[in-house]
Amino acid sequence: MHVAKVIVDVPAGQIDHSFDYLIPQEWEDIIVPGIRVIVPFGPRKIQGIVVDTYMKTEETEFKLKAIDEPMDVTPVLTPELLQLANQLSEETLCFHIAALQVMLPAAMKAKYKKKVVLKSEPIPPEFLPLFQKGNIVSWEKAMELNLVPTLQRKARAKEIDFEIIYEVKEKNRKKVIKHVCLNIDRKMVDNEIDKLPPQAGKQKELLEILKNQQESIPIPELTKDYGISTATIRSLADKGIVKHLDVEVYRNPFEHKEFKRTEPLPLTAEQQKAIIPILKSVEEQSYESFLLYGVTGSGKTEVYLQTIQEVLKKGQEAIVLVPEISLTPQMVDRFKGRFGDQVAVLHSGLSIGEKYDEWRKIHRKEVKVVVGARSAIFAPFENLGVIIIDEEHESSYKQEENPKYHARDVAKLRGAYHQCPVILGSATPSLESFARAQKGVYTLLELSRRMNDRDLPSVEIVDMREELRSGNRSMFSTKLVELLQNRMEKKEQSVLFLNKRGYSSFVMCRDCGYVMNCPNCDLSMTYHRASSEMKCHYCDYRALVPTTCPECTSTYIRYFGTGTQKVEEEIARLFPEARVIRMDVDTTGRKGAHEKLLSAFERGEADILLGTQMIAKGLDFPNITLVGVLSADTMLHLPDFRASEKTFQLLTQVSGRAGRHEKPGEVVIQTYTPEHYSIELSGSQDYLAFYQKEMITRKQFQYPPFYYLTLINISHEEVMKAASIAENITSYLEKNLSSSSIILGPVASPIARINNRYRYQCLVKYKREPELTKHLKKIVHQFQEDKRNNGVYVSVDVQPYVLM
Ligand code: ADP
Ligand code: ZN
Ligand code: ZN
């Protein structure tokens, strides 16, 4: 008997393992690992994914239930990805089914209409009853006629080509184009033309066209190029001379765009030095991780492109991850420009159907390169030659919901499997990565100079405390106003960057920049309006809200934060004639809005681009010569141990937006704490100095990369319940973990309540804790299974990026 091990789509602790099902004989060829199936489960029919198959001898005691039917005819997950899902669910403590599903396009998860498409001609006689009306029929019909196994057998013997597709209903999107082709032997065409009456000129013309055409012709083309109406086609179809044909097309999000082909540039000596070890690893097919550390504009992307070129030459494939936010058309153009149709693009701006199409190109091996955001790391390539993660320090590579994976970790697993290089690129590498490169775990490659030795923009740090002292209470310093004015006169463009305040509020002295920090954790404390006190969200240290500054006794100490709208009003007041484009969550909500606003700015339709984080990356317009950062401090004082790192990265990145081309750029950074190293060093763009300084702090306060972290979140509708369970979990960990680990908490989470659920958290810092996963699993399971804890939700985040 053939038996399949199936992971069923029921996310629950006690069901998080595979179940055995009998494979019905007729499906034996089709049901293999990686195929999705419908199986009986209790009284229901549910979906599942086959992860393994094996032979079982007859003497089974209790009869196995049989699989109802397959949902695919070719595996949607490769053996590698099935194995990767095991590792993911183990390492991130998520359900197996969640790890499998994260690798599949959304179109497959929802209930969409499934169709069988016959892609080859002619139709073999046994399938005529199925494809009577056309080459696309419903899955149900194919099942009803019991033809799927035969289709699959023929396809495997390469006698026909067919595919299962998901029809995603989308407005204004065509997926199938109607074509016309001959329905009679080509030799008979002249004969038919002669038979037509003289007034049927258009019909004759159509037959002439079809006679000379090997393939079918799209109807829109006939109408547009030859002026042939649908009525003409219909009358020939009625006579049985021509027939309609549905030809499926990919929804191409870049349809209306021409890509200028680019050629590889001769590499500079530095680029050459960096690419040699990478190409060696490609050549030898050995797994190695590289950290390509190079300032913006130093030519990293060109190194990626030429590496991919070698990989393609070997017949292998490449995955390139870029942060969602920098998946701008500009970035995509560079890959499409070099590799044309061999590139698939995956980003969240695509509709479900578009994403599915791109995924399918990968699955059918029609493309060799995928450029995409985080989830593109799961591209179902089977012969990977390189994985590239650009801007590797970006926190968007970490998924915040289950499975809480980091794309970098997945890249390393896949790199090891395929024995290929993994390249992490950044101008401001994460501390973790740079530390690994220092230790030799990664090979460090450096690009120290900008192309053509173009200067980095000059950065001026403006002390806002001084501004206040000299009577300027506006959010714009005198210097920034002056430079903005100057740019408007010169008809050059400016970018104003407002660091988003985030969720929390901190209290700062506007006279001296003092911010209250927790003495234990070196984090800024958060102001709580309700209790009117300051709290540390790692260790729960509390203090009173100061009314005067403890440093300078000023009374200008208060809650801090500004929105983009307020800034826009202020710009209108200062420069009534300025044309401003505002980019924030409010103005970029709609699909395509982001791109539209950017290209309007590129066309010079505005003088000032005002925005939050989302404008920090990827902007590369020649006319931008001024970048202003309105308040560099807001991110610095988030209650997050990475606050300094994020501030440094962001400021460096924002500064990189100015003067990327011929015109030199200037940057103004406004701050109340100019002496803070992450602000001071971003002025000189000195990453190494920043790294050394920050490592000292991380060591002193026991943070990564010196310690690993795991965050446990507990939530419940009743505050007491949440608190007491958090208490239990903490003491369980205290009892079971080694004494070298540090357990902080439980404390109320920085976001203390979401959707009326109270949230508590507990943070574990550890260096080596081999049993931790085991204990965490136990915790997670207990709260899933224990009915008395109904309503409790416990989530675990291993190596968290968001500590709220
Ligand atoms: P990064 O990815 O490090 O920001 P890019 O690869 O985008 O840097 O390079 C910056 C600019 O320099 C681009 O306009 C690119 O076309 C150009 N460039 C890169 N490499 C070379 C080269 N070897 N010769 C000439 N120009 C180059
Ligand atoms: Zn002060
Ligand atoms: Zn603290």
DSSP letters of 362-389?
HHTT--SEEEESGGGGG---SSEEEEEE
Asked if residue 554 lies in contact with residue 511, where contact means CB atoms within 8 angstroms, the answer is: yes
> The tokens of 347 are what?
């980003």
Burial of 393 (0-12, 13-18, 19+ CB in 10 A): buried
Residue 337 CA, chain-centre distance (Å), reads 22
Q: What is the pLDDT of residue 1?
A: 81
> The tokens of 207 are what?
């037959």
Q: Binding residue per annotation — 420?
A: no
**CA trace torsion 536, 537, 539, 545 (10° rounding):** 20
Closest CA to 53 of 34, 76, 80, 26: 34
Contacts for 418 with CB less than 8 Å, ≥ 6 apart: 80, 287, 383, 384, 385
DSSP annotation of 615: G
Residue 534 CA to ligand 3 center (angstroms) comes to 11
Closest CA to 163 of 6, 31, 8, 361: 361
Asked if residue 557 lies in contact with residue 548, where contact means CB atoms within 8 angstroms, the answer is: yes
DSSP annotation of 678: H
> The tokens of 403 are what?
């499975």
Residues with Cβ within 6 A of ligand 1? 265-268, 271, 294, 296-302, 451
Helix/strand/coil for 329: helix
Q: What is the pLDDT of residue 659?
A: 64
As averages over each run of 10 residues, the pLDDT of the chain (804 residues) reads 90 81 90 93 87 81 83 91 95 92 84 77 82 81 83 84 71 62 84 86 87 79 81 87 76 59 92 97 97 90 97 97 76 90 86 86 94 95 97 92 94 98 96 97 93 76 91 90 94 85 66 83 74 78 86 80 74 91 73 77 91 70 86 81 92 76 82 92 90 96 94 91 92 93 88 78 93 90 65 89 78
Q: Give me the amino acid identity at 507.
A: V
What string of DSSP letters covers 674-714? TTSHHHHHHHTT-HHHHHHHHHHHHHHTT-TTTSEEEEEEE
Given the DSSP bridges, would you call strands 36-41 and 19-22 parallel, antiparallel or unpaired? unpaired
What string of DSSP letters covers 312-327? HHTT-EEEEE--GGG-
Asked if residue 434 lies in contact with residue 291, where contact means CB atoms within 8 angstroms, the answer is: yes
> The tokens of 426 are what?
């950044």
Domains, the chain, with CATH or none:
2-108 (3.40.1440.60), 112-168 (no CATH), 176-248 (no CATH), 269-453 (3.40.50.300), 458-504+561-698 (3.40.50.300), 505-558 (no CATH), 708-798 (3.30.70.360)
> The tokens of 272 are what?
């050459």
Q: In what order do the strands lie in the sheet with 708-716?
A: 742-754, 757-766, 708-716, 793-798
Give the C-alpha separation, 497 to 491, whole Å.
19
Which ligand is in closest contact with the Cα of 536?
Answer: 3
Give the C-alpha separation, 493 to 477, whole Å.
18
Rounded to 10 deg, the angle between the 219-226 and 201-211 helix axes is 120
Burial of 62 (0-12, 13-18, 19+ CB in 10 A): exposed
Asked if residue 59 lies in contact with residue 138, where contact means CB atoms within 8 angstroms, the answer is: no
Given the DSSP bridges, would you call strands 666-671 and 624-629 parallel, antiparallel or unpaired? parallel
Name 544's bridge partners.
Answer: 533
Give the C-alpha separation, 543 to 532, whole Å.
10
In the chain, the largest separation of any two C-alpha atoms, in whole Å, equals 103
Q: What is the pLDDT of residue 273?
A: 97
Number of the ligand 1 atom closest to the C-alpha atom of 303: 6
Residue whose CA is closest, atom 4 of ligand 1? 297
- What's the angle, vertex CA 207, arms to CA 243 and CA 199, rounded to 5? 110
Testing ligand 1's pocket by substitution, the residue of 308, 390, 451 carrying the most ligand atoms inside 8 A of its CB is 451
The H-or-E segment that residue 417 falls in is helix 407-418
Helix/strand/coil for 522: coil
Closest CA to 3 of 43, 40, 39, 55: 55
Q: What is the pLDDT of residue 500?
A: 61
Give the C-alpha separation, 743 to 736, whole Å.
11
Q: Phi-psi region for residue 787, left (φ > 0), alpha (ψ -120 to 50) or beta?
A: alpha
Testing ligand 1's pocket by substitution, the residue of 273, 292, 295, 301 carrying the most ligand atoms inside 8 A of its CB is 301
- Only one residue has tokens 């740019």, namely 487
Which ligand is in closest contact with the Cα of 514?
Answer: 2
Asked if residue 665 lies in contact with residue 658, where contact means CB atoms within 8 angstroms, the answer is: yes
Q: Binding residue per annotation — 549?
A: yes
What residues pack around ion ligand 3 (CB closer than 5 A)?
Answer: 518, 520-521, 536, 538-539, 541
